[in-house]
Structure 1
Amino acid sequence: MSEVEVLPGTTVGVKVVDGVVLAAEKRVSYGLYLMSKSGKKVYRILDRMGLASAGLIADMQTLARIIEAEMRIYELDAGITPSVWTAAKLLSYVLYERRLFPYFAEIIVGGMDETGSHLYSLDPIGAIIEDDYVALGSGSRLAISIIESSYSSSMSLDDAEKLAIKAIEAAMKRDAASGDGIDVLTISKKSVSEKSLTWPLH
């Protein structure tokens, strides 16, 4: 039996008590062709929520636009800020509706709400798994090994950010579809920070 094909790129999410970190590398490739070294695969959604993905860049961008628009409509209609679960579940419906002709993207949804920090991973047809950490894409095996060797739910958000960066860096060194820098979104109750790191890291 052949191995299940994985989508190009590497993205990770790490959840701790104080918040969530989403990170992804920046390479955009189609097969053996390098299209861009500055692809954006991490998106901020509303004030305390984000999305990160691996796969085809057009599908990632489309899904990010859909979920942001839907969450803003929900916020206006309901008069409350949607929970992270609400965003993940809505995205699950969007993906499942296209199951016969799926989006080529694996998604991580993470953020903070009234119940604390949350991290969900979704496959291309909408299955949801909540976890403390996740790695998706062609470099996920390398990235997850780094996270599992050092992760603790009691670690600080700062250390979680460093761990996510280290995991993406490990994937970029060995996975041909991953590279060219790292985008990081760090979400806490008090603030949200976005940073873009160039490769090689110093």
Structure 2
Amino acid sequence: MSIMSYNGGTVLAMAGNECVCIATDLRLGEQMTTIATDVKKVHKLSEKVYVGLPGFNSDAKTVLDKIQFRKSLYELRENRKLKPQVAATIISNLLYQRRFGGYFTEPIVAGLDPATNKPYICGMDTIGCIASPRDFVVTGTGQEYALGVCESKLSDVGCPLYS
């Protein structure tokens, strides 16, 4: 069994016309045993930027603390608000620095550009490789199921989520 499925969790982000949506489950488990049903996996980084952290719970908390620290440093140095693309790069660099003894979490970043309201979503693997699809991204233990549901809903609509 993979360490990624030890605590589990699934995060889904979708982009629309000047909007994004990020959703997750609230379950914390130890393999097949449920420990809690109120665990927060989506966190607000700034006014319009959110990060979802599924995977091993203690690693997700450590990564969140490091992200918030680096976000504060960025805003102090640059004297501007965090953009979702910048947040994704910060997280990717953080994960890549620990690639040989990495964190067991696969982050998703979802947000709107503060100036243009252009949506941005991306998912990463455990070493920070960014994938930026146009419509939706899923990570976590329920990825296979959520991908099927999202793809079937897009084919029902017959067009991209935003133009």
Same fold, TM exceeding 0.5?
yes
Please name the residue that 1:153 is paired with. Answer: 161
Mapped partners of 1:81, 1:37: distance in 2 = 33
**How far is 1:29 from its partner?**
1.3
Amino acid at match of 1:103: Y
**Runs of at least 4 residues off by over 6 Å:** none
**How far is 1:6 from its partner?**
5.1
Please name the residue that 2:128 is paired with. Answer: 126
Mapped partners of 1:32, 1:109: distance in 2 = 28
Return the structure number with greater relative CO, CA threshold 8 A, min gap 6.
Answer: 1
Amino acid at match of 2:127: I
Task: Could you tell me which runs of 5 or more consecutive residues in structure 1 were left unpaired when the two chains were aligned.
Answer: 156-202
Mapped partners of 1:76, 1:93: distance in 2 = 19
Summarize the alignment of residues 1-202 of structure 1 with structure 2, pairs less than 5 Å apart: 7=5, 8-113=8-113, 114-115=115-116, 116-131=118-133, 132-151=135-154, 152-154=160-162
Mapped partners of 1:53, 1:144: distance in 2 = 17
Amino acid at match of 1:154: Y
Mapped partners of 1:144, 1:50: distance in 2 = 20
TM-score (norm 1): 0.70
Change (3 A) 1:97 1:138: same
Mapped partners of 1:141, 1:36: distance in 2 = 23
Mapped partners of 1:140, 1:69: distance in 2 = 29
Mapped partners of 1:136, 1:87: distance in 2 = 17
Percent of aligned pairs sharing the same letter: 27
- 1:79-106: CA deviations, max 9, x gaps? 1112211111111111011111111111
Q: Is the 8 A contact 1:46 1:68 kept in 2?
A: no
**How far is 1:65 from its partner?**
2.1
Please name the residue that 2:157 is paired with. Answer: none
Q: Is the 8 A contact 2:4 2:56 kept in 1?
A: no
Mapped partners of 2:3, 2:132: distance in 1 = 23
Q: Is the 8 A contact 2:46 2:82 kept in 1?
A: no
Residues paired across the two proteins, number: 153
Mapped partners of 2:43, 2:92: distance in 1 = 17
Mapped partners of 1:134, 1:104: distance in 2 = 18
More strand by share: 1
TM-score (norm 2): 0.86
Task: Could you tell me which runs of 5 or more consecutive residues in structure 2 were left unpaired when the two chains were aligned.
Answer: 155-159
